[in-house]
Structure formats: structure tokens, C-alpha cells
């Protein structure tokens, strides 16, 4: 990894997390943010928006031909979502673990889906599934100027390992 001025590696891994419309309706935004904060990740972008059909089809480009896509589109455009970018060491992998299995019935208790949902078409939250996917999704949802680089008060105790 690249080195910052202090000599410790720059942690630049980022992932896209979204609270889906059911999560917003159910007032789960705060609890979901809290889980990422308490895990130690750094919030570098956050906004609320109504997703268009076009944005959704770009976001889920690999799922467009699936039989469940119309239902997924209806779900994801039914109300506002809160979309965030979180940064930190192996944040892509860590957030997939925190979010849990796609099907909430298979998600472990303690994961977001395992604690807050019971159906695959109402599974509360999105998390990028790979580094490449995260980069693609972040570019799709955020403009560069909407992502903030800010310093942890003690880089070695908070953001670095
Ligand atoms: P994720 O990365 O765990 O969110 O799962 P995928 O990328 O495979 O799918 C994206 C989203 O589409 C999931 O979170 C579900 O909300 C929805 N989805 C995936 N598979 C199914 C399915 O078989 N049936 C339905 N109804 N929805 C699905
Ligand atoms: Mg996915």
C-alpha cells in the first residue's frame, strides 16, 4: 500500500453500502451506520436519494436479465435509499460479513440481514461484493467531490493496523 507522511500505509479501500427503501422506512439507518462506526470504519460519503430505473439497472447490471429483476426494481425504487461510502482495512470483505447472506433466512444472527430481515426481496441493505465492484459502484453513485478525505485524530490507533 502507498505510504502516508507518517510512514504508515494509506488505507484507501472503500466500499459502497446502501440502506435500501425498507431499511429507510423502518428507521434502521442509524443502527446500520452505528455498526460500521463501531467496527472502526471511516465514513467518507453519505447521501439520500430516490433511485431511478436507469441508475438501478446500471447498479445491478449483472441481474438485469434475472426473472426477479422487475420485482427488485420495484422494491429498490419504491422510496428513498441512503447510500454511503465506508473506508478502511479490508472493508469490502468485512462489510459483506457484517451484512450477511443475501437470503436473510440463511444470514447468521448478528449480521444486519440476520438481525433485521427475513425475506430476500426485503433484505434492508446493500454492500459491494468485491474490490472491483466497489470501485465501479462508488463511481456510479458518487461524484468525486462528494467523497471526503479526512484525517483520523490518531491514524495509528483508529484507521491503521
Ligand atoms: P447481494 O449482493 O447479497 O445483495 O445479492 P445479489 O447481488 O445477488 O442480489 C442483489 C439483490 O437482489 C439482493 O440483495 C436481493 O434483494 C435481490 N435478489 C437476489 N436474488 C434474488 C432472488 O432470487 N429473488 C428475489 N426476489 N430477489 C433476489
Ligand atoms: Mg450484490
**What pLDDT sits at residue 4?**
53
Neighbour-count burial of 10, counting CB atoms closer than 10 A to its CB (0-12 exposed, 13-18 middle, 19+ buried): middle
Q: Does residue 10 carry a pLDDT above 70?
A: no
How far apart (Å, rounded) are the C-alpha atoms in residues 109 and 127?
17
**What pLDDT sits at residue 158?**
76
**What pLDDT sits at residue 1?**
43
Residues 6 or more apart from 113 whose CB is under 8 A from it?
99, 100, 101, 102, 104, 107, 123, 124, 125
**What pLDDT sits at residue 5?**
57
**What pLDDT sits at residue 23?**
98
Place of cell 505510504: 3
- Cα(147) to centroid(ligand 2), Å: 22
**What pLDDT sits at residue 106?**
98
List the domains of the chain with CATH numbers: 14-144 (3.30.70.141)
- Cα(123) to centroid(ligand 1), Å: 8
Tell me: the pLDDT tens digits for 45-58?
999 999 999 999 99
**What pLDDT sits at residue 154?**
78
Tell me: the pLDDT tens digits for 105-155?
999 999 999 999 999 999 999 999 999 999 999 999 999 999 999 988 877
Of 71, 77, 80, 91, whose CA–CA distance to 131 is shortest?
91
- Cα(96) to centroid(ligand 2), Å: 10
What's the pTM?
0.93
**Cβ–Cβ < 8 Å for 44, 159:** no
The answer to whether the annotation marks 116 as part of a ligand binding site is no
Question: Which residues does ligand 1 sit against, CB inside 6 Å?
Answer: 63, 68, 71-72, 102, 120-121, 123, 126, 129
Residue 89 a catalytic site member:
no
Q: In this structure, which residue's CA is closest to atom 17 in ligand 1?
A: 121
Tell me: the pLDDT tens digits for 63-103?
999 999 999 999 999 999 999 999 999 999 999 999 999 99
Q: Does residue 8 carry a pLDDT above 90?
A: no
**What pLDDT sits at residue 122?**
98
Assign 38 to helix, strand or coil: helix
**What pLDDT sits at residue 152?**
84
Residues 6 or more apart from 157 whose CB is under 8 A from it?
none
**Cβ–Cβ < 8 Å for 126, 20:** yes
**What pLDDT sits at residue 157?**
80
Amino acid at each position: 500500500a502507498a505510504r502516508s507522511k507518517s510512514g504508515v500505509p494509506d488505507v484507501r479501500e472503500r466500499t459502497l453500502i446502501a440502506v435500501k427503501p425498507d431499511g429507510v422506512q423502518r428507521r434502521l439507518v442509524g443502527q446500520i451506520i452505528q455498526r460500521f462506526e463501531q467496527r472502526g470504519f471511516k465514513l467518507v460519503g453519505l447521501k439520500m436519494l430516490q433511485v431511478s430505473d436507469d441508475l438501478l439497472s446500471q447498479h445491478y447490471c449483472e441481474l438485469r436479465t434475472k426473472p426477479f429483476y422487475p420485482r427488485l426494481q420495484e422494491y429498490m425504487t419504491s422510496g428513498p435509499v441512503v447510500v454511503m461510502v465506508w473506508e478502511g482495512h479490508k472493508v469490502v470483505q468485512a462489510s459483506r460479513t457484517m451484512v450477511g447472506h443475501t437470503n436473510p433466512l440463511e444470514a447468521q444472527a448478528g449480521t444486519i440481514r440476520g438481525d433485521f430481515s427475513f425475506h430476500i426481496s426485503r433484505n434492508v441493505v446493500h454492500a459491494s461484493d468485491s474490490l472491483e465492484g466497489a470501485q465501479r459502484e462508488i463511481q456510479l453513485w458518487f461524484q468525486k467531490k462528494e467523497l471526503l478525505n479526512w484525517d483520523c485524530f490518531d491514524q495509528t490507533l483508529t484507521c491503521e493496523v
